Chains A and B, each alone.
Chain A
Amino acid sequence: MSLNPAPDATPGLRRRFIVISAVAAGIFGILLLRLWHLQIVNDERYRFLSERNRTRFIHIDAPRGTMYDRNGVMLVDSRPAFTVSVLRQEVADRQALFSRLSQLLGIESRQFEARWRAGQILPDYQPLPLLEDIDRATMEIVQEHGIDLPGVIVEGKPLRAYPQGPVAPHLLGYLGEVTEDDLRRPEFADYRPRNLVGKTGLERLFEEKLRGQDGYRLIEVNVRGRELRQLTTQKPSPGQRLILTLDSKVQAAAEKAFGEEAGAAVALDVRSGEVLALVSRPAFDPGQFARGITAAEWQALAEDPRHPMQNKVLRGQYPPGSTFKVAVALAALEAGTATPETTVSCSGGITLGSHEFRCWNKGGHGAVDLHRALKESCDVYFYRIGMQLGIDRIAAMCHRLGLGQPLGFPFGGERGGLIPDREWKKKRFGTAWYNGETVICSIGQGYVLATPLQLASMTAAVANGGTVWRPQVVKRIESLQGDLLWTPEPQKLFESQWSPANLRAVRRGMEAVVNEPGGTAFRNRLPEVPYAGKTGTAQVVGRRGDKAADTSKYEHRDHALFVAYAPAIAPEIAIAVVVEHGGHGGSAAAPVAKAMLEAYFGINREAPPVVTIEETAVNAVPAAGIEGGADGSAATAPDTEPPPLPENLPIPAVPPATEDEPVDPAIAPPLRPAEG
């Protein structure tokens, strides 16, 4: 039926079929070679890629270790917080994703875009956080619309919480994201970008113990990154617990007592050097850092002239003022240049060469012995015994009391203060020491500087009979199960053997300051617990001639200081308080210490005591307080004993603006502004 010729008619047909079959087989050979290359030669690589495709390594941040005060009150907690993150590999169209998120959550998509860009330094596979610490409603919205939001996940991540509020932030410290520089250092080898790390305080000091061990989950995901099943898992192990020496009641009382004032307060256990309270005001809120501080917030903190970020207990160096008289008194007694019975006649000042050194009490104290000199803070007495003693012997006693050098506080860049002597003067200025300088140093002015911690430590040494302990802030470290992992050994820095009679004389004087009528802190006595103390007022601005500094200016006002230990017999606690530009030690600083002692001894003063007619009558006398008329708080002071009239104090002699312990400005060496 066909007109077609038979295939055999075509010449070379057989050859053509062989060629075409060979070409076909050859091309199949190429395909096979390629398969060999992919499946046999490179199969490891593709197996790895396949594994990486289907598995996700999810870090689980370990809850950071918590912190408690000495009584088990939780100060720093680790609470679960949730973060909306995005797996960048899963996102095809991020504009669309962000506008959808923005629509759902009512947050501008620009913000997400900014986070996205900022997160580009993270490795690709790591979730990039878009919104941190979201509330439950947000979490529900995101989870509900999971299918609409490819690549978006909600991650749990522990965050810092402060159940007692921002207590002792300078001691506890705050957290911040680990920096890129840190990450390059070997000790941060197992940190990842955006991990939180302790930046200051205990958070930083005990970073290793608080951090815990992050866990992980290896999960299998499908192409949309949705988790299908868990392959392996390693639970995170939470960080260890820190039990601090802090007594949160004392701490809170001090913080409250400061009100809006700036300054520092510290309380030590005189028997061990344990820090019971550490207050630096104004303070910052570590929660702000936990949430992620903004640039504006940070700038406000950094530029605040009252330095809220600084730990003034450690780094504030203040002229100790009359609190220094404790050291001078002890030095004179121990050196034998004075006895408790030594009497000095105070006529309101002394003259040395052409300089006049005044007592704060222009009218003079008359004949003063050690007891009264401490109680009423007579400057002339200390000018005299200081001169007899000489600066080097004062300095030697100071060093035994822990002044003039750092006390080994474990962190925070503790300052050493300054205790001058002849050698120091020569080294520093190349000039000889003048007697006038001894005079001015004897009342804690001039070159002398001390940190609040040093003043508390000095007071503790007087209270415990001569031991300067190294300050401790951590009582013990426990595992989550409560096993004791670490506890510090109390460490003695100095131990002095003073004559019990001399020590008793100084302590009696300090007791009189608080408990005897006419004492400079008499108004702040505690009837329940007799305690001892010493007020101080440190001049901030040098005065020329008789012209007083402009006390209306905050920064010209004097610093108010107060040191105390309690109880007077068998002391337990020593306190130092500095109220910057607070005015009088007795009126501004002592109430803080009193509040701390009330908290320490559990004295509840919620209800104002019943005021007797007798008291009302006495309190009505405006200048009844030894602190002078500037103290307007007399009527409200919750005294339970009738304050006696000052014994040796002619009331008209106290002008309103006069400090209790002024320094003659004429000879005052240039005052260095206190650190802080």
Chain B
Amino acid sequence: MFDRRLITHFDWIFMLLVVLVAVTGIVNLYSATANFSGAATPIYLKQIFWFGLGVLIVIGVCLFDYRHLEYMGLPAYGVAMLLLVAVLAVGRTSMGATRWLSIGGVGLQPSEVMKIVIIIVLARYFSERSTPVGFSIVQLLAPGALLLMPVLLVMKQPDLGTAMLLLAIGGTMALFAGIRRATVVALGGCGILAAVGGWFLLHDYQRQRIYTFLNPEQDPLKSGYHIIQSKIAVGSGGLFGQGFRKGTQAQLSFLPERHTDFAFSVFAEEWGFTGCLLVLVLYLLIVLWGLYIARLASDRFGMFLALGVSAMLFWHIVVNLGMVIGLLPVVGVPLPLFSYGGTSMITTMTGVGLLLNVSMRRFMF
């Protein structure tokens, strides 16, 4: 099955973009966690390990033809759903939410698995059907159900950020596939109604986050603290930043979650607008390159798969950055390749592997 041509068709430029961002992220983590005490392995070293694992995953994902995934999609979906149910039943609870499942001592976040699986399942659904006028509401019932079931389970954990990301990924794919105008309007209406109704289903802390987002100064010590401190960090970066390891917000621990969700605040503080611009350009290039891969894909499944992965990366980036710079409420969404965390890295690198897989097989059919 393996063709030597695949290596010549390997998308080195895309991989280079990913490595550039990942290295920047690791360097940034080195600074962000410089004052972490304790004898444990430094965070940046762990992140290097996770990135290394991620590269192996990319290689692994590239080894088989993505088209096999078409048939593995639904079984995988079933397994992922089982895991999501299991996590609610026997999952590990931390910080008021149950997101983790422990399998043989290794922590697993089923909602992360679902991100990839839903892309595969939806890609298959949309690739098999094509309408010149777009999908109707009836045609969207099946993919809608496929999407909403895990979304509801994830919300139940509760993990609003991931649930919204799943919706955004699925929505992006559906919109790209084409939806009738009337259906868009109807779904939009439903969405607003669901949002209003959902407000009452939200947990207090989730509602508080939205209040806080709307007016962070009202409670500067508690829920508004993250946003305020992050904005101060980003804003004080100025044009050229405070310098590597010189950001006082980060180095003096004013910035919370600075190695995970708010890693970019550290970067913005220390490298300023110039650094942010460069990283944003790299991210945009990754997303656009992903869309380009989708466009050049040899089949509709590959196209939707690449599109879904690009959407996943895009929404992660936008939601996280929007949160860091105070444009969006604080929802726990990590920045791909920047935030510390094995789960995020594995998901991201699996996505990257899928994109490269689609890319290198674009001439094969």
Contacts and interface: CB of A to CB of B under 8 A. Distances in A.
A54 to B, nearest CB: 5
Given A5-B299, A49-B232, A49-B235, A28 B294 contact: no
Interface in A1-50: 1-2, 4-7, 9-11, 13-14, 16-17, 20-21, 24-25, 27-28, 30-32, 34-36, 38-40, 42-43, 45-47, 49-50
A27 B320 CA distance: 13
Contact of B235 (A2, A27, A43, A89): A43
A9 B277 CA distance: 38
B295 interface: yes
Interface stretch (B53-61, B208-216, B247-255): B247-255
A452 B31 CA distance: 77
Contacts of A24: 284, 287-288, 291, 314
Interface in A281-339: none
Interface in B266-297: 268-269, 272-273, 276-277, 280, 283-284, 287-288, 291-292, 294-295, 297
B321 to A, nearest CB: 5
B202 to A, nearest CB: 24
Interface in A190-233: 220-224, 228
Contacts of B365: 1-2, 6
A608 B63 CA distance: 116
Nearest to A25: B284
B360 to A, nearest CB: 16
B327 A6 contact: no
Given A24-B288, A31-B322, A17 B253 contact: no
Most interface-central of B132, B252, B273, B325 (chain A CB within 10 A):
B252
A152 to B, nearest CB: 16
Contact of B295 (A17, A28, A54): A17
Interface in B294-332: 294-295, 297-303, 307, 314, 318, 321-322, 325-327
A7 B291 contact: no
A31 to B, nearest CB: 5
A17 B291 contact: yes
A39 B234 contact: yes
Contact of B252 (A17, A25, A92, A221): A221
Contacts of B232: 46, 49-50, 53
A28 B327 CA distance: 12
Given A7-B303, A28-B283, A40 B314 contact: no
Nearest to A52: B232
B25 interface: no
Interface in B33-60: none
B273 A35 contact: yes
A50 B269 CA distance: 10
Interface stretch (B87-95, B102-110, B236-244): B236-244
B262 to A, nearest CB: 13
Nearest to B248: A54
B301 A2 contact: yes
Given A35-B276, A39-B235, A89-B221, 9 more contacts: A9-B130, A16-B178, A31-B327, A39-B268, A43-B235, A47-B236, A53-B254, A54-B254, A224-B253
A596 B222 CA distance: 68
Contacts of A9: 130, 300
Interface residues of A, number: 45
A411 B67 CA distance: 100
Contact of A50 (B236, B273, B321, B322): B236
Contacts of A14: 295
A38 B221 contact: no
Contacts of B222: 92
Contacts of A13: 295
A47 B235 contact: yes
Nearest to B287: A24
B321 A2 contact: no
B64 interface: no
Contacts of B307: 20
A2 B67 contact: yes
B24 interface: no
A2 B236 contact: no
Closest 7 CB pairs of A and B: A46-B235, A50-B236, A43-B238, A39-B273, A223-B253, A38-B235, A4-B299
A11 B291 CA distance: 17
A54 B292 CA distance: 46
Interface in A457-509: none
B249 A53 contact: yes
A373 to B, nearest CB: 84
Interface of B: 67, 70, 127-128, 130, 132, 172, 176, 178, 221-222, 229, 231-239, 248-249, 252-254, 268-269, 272-273, 276-277, 280, 283-284, 287-288, 291-292, 294-295, 297-303, 307, 314, 318, 321-322, 325-327, 365
Nearest to B281: A28
A279 B324 CA distance: 71
A35 B234 contact: yes
B70 to A, nearest CB: 8
13 contacts: A9-B300, A10-B300, A20-B172, A24-B284, A25-B284, A28-B284, A35-B277, A39-B237, A46-B234, A47-B238, A53-B248, A53-B249, A223-B254
A31 B335 CA distance: 14
A223 B325 CA distance: 20
Contacts of B314: 24, 27
Interface string A588-627: 0000000000000000000000000000000000000000
A4 B299 CA distance: 6
A667 B128 CA distance: 130
Given A16-B176, A39-B268, A222 B236 contact: no
A89 B220 CA distance: 10
B57 to A, nearest CB: 24
A2 B364 CA distance: 11
A32 B326 CA distance: 13
Contacts of A25: 284, 288
Contacts of B231: 38, 46
Most interface-central of A21, A25, A30 (chain B CB within 10 A):
A21
Contacts of B295: 7, 13-14, 17
Contacts of B269: 50
Interface in A341-373: none
B291 A21 contact: yes
A9 B130 CA distance: 9
A2 B307 CA distance: 19
Contacts of B132: 11
Given A20-B291, A31-B318, A7 B297 contact: yes
B342 to A, nearest CB: 26
Contacts of A221: 252
A32 B277 contact: yes
Contacts of B236: 43, 46-47, 49-50
B171 to A, nearest CB: 12
B322 to A, nearest CB: 7
A17 B254 contact: no
Nearest to B240: A39
A81 to B, nearest CB: 31
Interface in A630-662: none
A149 B303 CA distance: 58
Contact of B325 (A16, A35, A45, A224): A35
B280 A39 contact: no
Nearest to A228: B252
Nearest to B310: A24
B313 to A, nearest CB: 10
Most interface-central of A35, A40, A43, A49 (chain B CB within 10 A):
A35
Given A6-B299, A35-B276, A42 B252 contact: no
A443 B312 CA distance: 110
B103 to A, nearest CB: 33
Given A2-B299, A21-B288, A39 B238 contact: yes
